[in-house]
């Protein structure tokens, strides 16, 4: 006998923090592999082999030219990472990390219910991740931004609040 069971139901809810964190780690690994790898050679030649991090740090601090070059490299890597997050979230609603963990970026329309899900616009996606760019006011936000999500009801980072977006987890049942 074949039962007439309801079709698979898809619903969205606030994701657990670990899922968001893991998705972010996956994205970072991808960026490291795809974007940062070509710059490795430059970094290796800018900062010579050293016995310890401390030695390398001292070398960088004593050589303003090296610090400047490192900053430019970091800036470019961050810029390409910004493109990665912005384009994928704008076009697909997900980065690869989010896709693997079933997370979606949606507009925060202010509704208490989450029945109405709308993909974010390009500028919203850009704004969500703009703090990646290593310039002074954003550097402070690198710490503040994720901490705020822990205390936020909708688990939003500060930049998500500003861009009016949020992340939801997809559940099937």
Partner 1 sequence: MKNEGQGKNWIFAIGVLVILALFSLFFALVLGSLFVPSEPLSLSGNVARIYVTGEILPDGSSSIFGSSGASSQDIVDLIKKADENKEIKALLIEINSPGGAAVASEDIVKAIKKSKKPSVALIKDTGASGAYWVASATDVIVADPISITGSIGVLSSYLEFSGLMNKYGVGYERIVGGEYKDIGTPFRNLTDEERQLLQEQIDVVYDYFVKEVAANRNMSEEQMKGIATGMIYTGIRAKQLGLVDVLGGEDEAEEAIKQKANLTDVQIVDYKKKRTLIDVLTETLSRQSYTVGQGIGDSLVSKADQNLGVRT
Stretch that binds partner 1, among 21-29, 112-120, 149-157, 158-166 (CB under 8 A): 112-120
The tokens describing 102, both together, are 């079933």
Contact call for residues 167 and 3 (beta carbons, < 8 A): no
Tokens of 19: 């899922």
Selected from 25, 50, 123, 154, the binder of partner 1 by CB under 8 A is 50
Q: Which is nearer to partner 1, 3 or 79 (CB)?
A: 79
Determine if 61 is a binding residue for partner 1 (CB under 8 A).
yes
147/158 Cα distance (integer angstroms): 9
Q: Which contiguous run of DSSP H or E holds residue 35?
A: none
Q: Which stretch binds partner 1 (CB under 8 A): 19-27, 41-49, 143-151, 153-161?
A: 41-49
Q: Which is nearer to partner 1, 3 or 62 (CB)?
A: 62
Q: What are the Cα distances from residue 34, in Å, to 22, 26, 73, 77?
A: 18, 12, 15, 10
* Alpha-carbon dihedral sign for residues 45, 46, 48, 53: negative
Please report, as ranges, the residues that interact with partner 1 according to CB under 8 A: 30, 34-39, 41-42, 45-48, 50, 55-56, 58-59, 61-64, 69, 72-73, 76-77, 80, 83-84, 87-88, 91-96, 99, 104, 106, 117-119, 136, 139-140, 170
């Amino acid at each position: 006998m074949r039962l007439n069971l309801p079709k698979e139901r898809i619903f969205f809810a606030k994701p657990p923090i670990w899922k968001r964190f893991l998705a972010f780690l996956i994205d970072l690994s991808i960026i490291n592999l795809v974007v940062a790898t070509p710059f490795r050679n430059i970094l290796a030649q800018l900062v010579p082999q050293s016995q310890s991090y401390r030695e390398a740090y001292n070398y960088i601090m004593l050589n303003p030219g090296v610090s400047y070059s490192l900053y430019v490299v970091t800036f470019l890597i961050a810029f390409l990472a910004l493109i990665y997050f912005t384009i994928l979230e704008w076009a697909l609603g997900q980065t690869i990390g989010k896709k693997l963990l079933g997370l979606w970026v949606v507009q925060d329309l202010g509704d208490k219910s989450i029945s109405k899900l709308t993909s974010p616009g390009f500028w919203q996606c850009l704004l969500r991740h703009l703090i990646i760019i290593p310039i002074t006011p954003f550097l402070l936000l690198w710490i503040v931004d994720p901490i705020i999500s822990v205390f936020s009801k909708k688990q939003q980072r500060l930049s998500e609040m500003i861009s009016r977006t949020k992340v939801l987890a997809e559940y099937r049942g």
